[in-house]
Structure 1
C-alpha cells in the first residue's frame, strides 16, 4: 500500500466519521448525501486492498444482498439508508482512538509501571490490579490497552504465559460487556434504539461477577506462580514514588472527567451516547494537551491516527459498512420471516433456550471467520425479542454478552492475534485452549443471570 493511498483512505475515513457527527447536530440533507458518496468512495478504494479472507466475506455479503433484492421490497432509498446504517459504529471506531492521545502524551505508563512494580510479588493483588488497568485503559485505547498492559506485566516477570494471556484477554473482553466506548455497545444500542443507562448497570454487575469467576478459574495458576516468586527479589524502577502517585492520580482524573463529560452531554443535550463520545474524543484530548503545553505532541499523534491507524482499520471498517447494508436488506426480505418462523417455532416459549441459541449462532459463524459484527447486526435488526418472552433490554444484554463470550475463543479476532504475536504462542492456544473454561463459564452464567430479569 503506497504512501498517498494511505493518506487518502485516512482522510476519507475520518471525514465520514466527522461528517456523521456534524449531521447529527445540524440534520442537513446535503450532508447526508455527501456521506453516502464518501462511503461508496471509501468502499471502492479499500475493497481491492483487503485481506483475502475479509474480501471474500464482503463479496459474499454483497452477492447475498443482490440475491435477496430479487424478492424484497427494498428501493434505492432503503439501500442508501442501509449503507449508512452502521455509521454510528463506524464513527466510534474511527474517532475514539483519539482518546489514546491522552495516554501517549501524558507520561502515565512509567507511573503505572512503578505502581505495578510495588505489588507484583502478591499475585492475587497483581491479578486485580492488571484486570482493572486493562479495563480502564481499554475504555480509552480499545485493543491498544492489551499492548500497554503487556508492557506493564513485563515488570512482574511472570513465568506462566497463560496467566498473562488470560488476564489481558478476559479483562479486555469483559470491557465489551459494559463500555459505551466500544463498538459492540454502539451497534447494539443503535439498532435497538436504547440508551446506555437502559442496560449499563446490569452489564457492569455481570462484568464483576465474571471477573470474580475468572479469578477462581486462574486461582491454581496464580498460586503456583506465587510459590515461584516467594524467593525472587523485586526489580526497582527508577522513578519517584510521589511523582508516580501524582501521575496515576492525574490519569484517574482524566478518565473520570472524560466519562463525566460524556454522560453529561448524553443526558442533558444530545441523547446519543455515540455522538457524546465522539465529541469528547474530538475535543477533550486537544484541549487537555493544550493545557499541558503538549499540543505539538497532539498534532503528531493526530497525524499518526489519520494516516496510519485509520488505514490499518480498513478491514473492520469495510465489514461494518457492508454488514449494515446486508442487515437492512435482510430485514426487508422473505429470509427474515423464515428465520423468525424457525426461531419462534422452536424456541418461542423458551427464552433461556433462545439465549443459548444466540450464543451458539454467533459462535458458529465466528469459528468459520465470520465476525460477530455480521451476526449481531443480523439479529439486532431482524429479531423481535418480545416474541421470545424477553424485553429489548435483555435482548441487548444477550447480544453483548454473547459477542464478548465468542470473542474469547474465536481465533480470528484482533485480541487473539495481538496476544499470539506478543506471547509467541499459537493463536489457537491463546484463544480456544486457554479460554475454553472461561467460555463454558460464560455459557453457564449468561442464561442464569439474564433469567433474573425476565
Structure 2
C-alpha cells in the first residue's frame, strides 16, 4: 500500500508540474505528508527520530515566519522533485539486469584478480560508469557479483567509495547535482563539463593513491584467473557505455529543447526506458518479476531516504530568510571578499560539522544554496555550484551516518568512522585541496 502511495504521489507531481492545477497541488501535498508519515513509521530508529525532529522544526519555523499553510506547501514542493528522482531512477536497473551487463563486468574484474591495480581501476571505473544512473544500487549490485572474489576490506572500502563518489559531482540522477542546480537555477548543460572534470580528477587521485598504498601493502591471490572474457562480454560492456552516453545525451537534448527541470526530465526518462523494453514481447515475461520487485522491495526500502530527504528539505526551506541564515550568509560573504580559500574552507567545515552528527546534506547544502548569492560573493554561479558539489562529496564520504558510508561499512566490515577518516581521509583531503584550487580559477 505504501508503495502505491509513493508512486502515486510521484505520478501526480509530474502531472501537476505540467498542468499547474491548484487543486491537484493540494492532493499531491496530502499524499506527500501521508508518504512521509508512512515512511517515518517504518524507517530505522535514528533516521525516524532525526526526520521527525527536522520536519517538526521546519514546519514550526515556516509557520512562525508568517507564510502559513502556503509556505509549508511551497517547502514540501521544493523537495518533491528529489523524492520523485530517488524513487523512479532505480527503474533504470531493470533494462541493465535484462541485458546481462553485470555478468560482463564481473568477468572483466575476475580477469584482473592477480593484478590489484588493474582490478582497482576496473572496480572504480565500473562504478564511474554505472553509478551515475543506478545511484547506491550500483554498489549493492556490483558487490553481489564480485563478493566471491573476497577482496581485502581496505581495497573494497577504498574502491567503492572512490568509484561511487565520482558520480556525485556530475550525474543528473543524483540528489547533489539535481538539487543544487535546481536551487541555483543553473542549466545542466552549462555545468556538466565542470562536474565531469571534478569527477575525473577524483578518480585519477584515487587510483594513484591506491597504487602507492598497494606498493606498501602488496595483495597477492593464488588463484587461476583464466576465466574467459570473450567477445560477448566485450560487446556487453560497450553497450553499457553506449547506454550511459545515450541517457546523458537524452537529458541534455531534452533540456535544451524544452527548458524543463532536469529532475523532471530524468524522472520521465527513468519511466520511459523500461517501458520501451516492455514493447518487445519476449522481454515481458522476464521483466514482470523485476517490476514486481521494484514495487514490493525497492520502493518500500526507501523509508530512510524519503524520511530524511523530505524532512531535511523542509528544514532547509524554513531556514531561508531567518536571522541565523542571514548572519551565516553575511559571515560567508565577508570571508569570500577576503579570500576564496577561506570561504570555501568555511563552507566545507560548516557542512561537515552538521552532517557528521547525522543531519543530511540536503538540509545544510540546500539552505546554503537558497541563501547564498554568487554575485554578492564575487564569484560565478558555476564556481558556487562546483564548491557545493565538492562539499557534498566530502561530507557524504566522511559522515558515518551517510547511506553510502553505512552500505560500504556493511560490505567491507570497516566501521563508518574509520571508513571516512582513516581509510579514505588522505584521498578526500587531496581532492578537497585540488578541487578548491580548480574552483578558485573558475571563480
Q: TM-score range by the shorter chain?
A: over 0.9
Unmatched tracts of structure 2, length 5 or more: none
Q: Which residue of structure 2 aligns with residue 207 of structure 1? A: 199
Q: Which residue of structure 1 aligns with residue 425 of structure 2? A: 436
Instruction: Give the TM-score normalised by structure 2.
Output: 0.93
Q: How does 1:124-163 map to 2 (within 5 A)?
A: 124-154=117-147, 157-158=150-151, 160-163=152-155
Q: Which residue of structure 2 aligns with residue 341 of structure 1? A: 330
The one of 156, 159, 171 aligned to 1:164 = 156
Q: Deviations over 1:374-430 (max 9, x none)?
A: 111111112223222212221111111101111112111121222222222333222
Q: How does 1:274-289 map to 2 (within 5 A)?
A: 274-289=263-278
Q: How does 1:14-29 map to 2 (within 5 A)?
A: 14-29=7-22
Shift in CA distance, 75/101, structure 1 to aligned 2, threshold 3 Å: same
Q: Which residue of structure 2 aligns with residue 5 of structure 1? A: none
Counterparts of 1:377 and 1:148, CA distance in 2: 29
1:341 to partner: Cα distance: 3.0
CA contact (8 A) 2:39 2:306 kept: no
Q: Deviations over 1:206-263 (max 9, x none)?
A: 221222111222123333566635xx453344x6712222322333333333332232
Counterparts of 1:349 and 1:331, CA distance in 2: 24
Q: Structure 1 residue 91 and structure 2 residue 84: aligned? A: yes
Q: Which residue of structure 2 aligns with residue 72 of structure 1? A: 65
1:97 to partner: Cα distance: 0.5
CA contact (8 A) 1:74 1:332 kept: no
1:162 to partner: Cα distance: 1.0
How many residues align? The count is 443
Counterparts of 1:148 and 1:386, CA distance in 2: 43
Q: Greater CA deviation, 424-433 or 362-371?
A: 424-433
Q: Which residue of structure 2 aligns with residue 395 of structure 1? A: 384
The one of 391, 412, 415 aligned to 1:423 = 412
Q: Greater CA deviation, 95-104 or 297-306?
A: 297-306
1:352 to partner: Cα distance: 2.0
Q: Greater CA deviation, 160-169 or 17-26?
A: 17-26
Shift in CA distance, 161/327, structure 1 to aligned 2, threshold 3 Å: closer
Q: How does 1:369-388 map to 2 (within 5 A)?
A: 369-388=358-377
CA contact (8 A) 1:351 1:389 kept: no
Which structure 1 residue ranges, 4+ long, deviate > 6 Å from structure 2? Answer: none
CA contact (8 A) 1:266 1:276 kept: yes
Unmatched tracts of structure 1, length 5 or more: 1-7
Q: Which residue of structure 1 aligns with residue 49 of structure 2? A: 56
Q: Structure 1 residue 190 and structure 2 residue 179: aligned? A: no
Counterparts of 2:102 and 2:62, CA distance in 1: 52
Q: Structure 1 residue 355 and structure 2 residue 344: aligned? A: yes
Shift in CA distance, 374/227, structure 1 to aligned 2, threshold 3 Å: closer
Shift in CA distance, 311/154, structure 1 to aligned 2, threshold 3 Å: closer
Q: Which residue of structure 1 aligns with residue 296 of structure 2? A: 307
Q: Deviations over 1:319-377 (max 9, x none)?
A: 22222222222224333323223333455432221111111111111111112121111
Report the 3-state secondary structure (helix = DSSP H, G, I; strand = E; otherwise coil) of the residue aligned with 2:279: helix
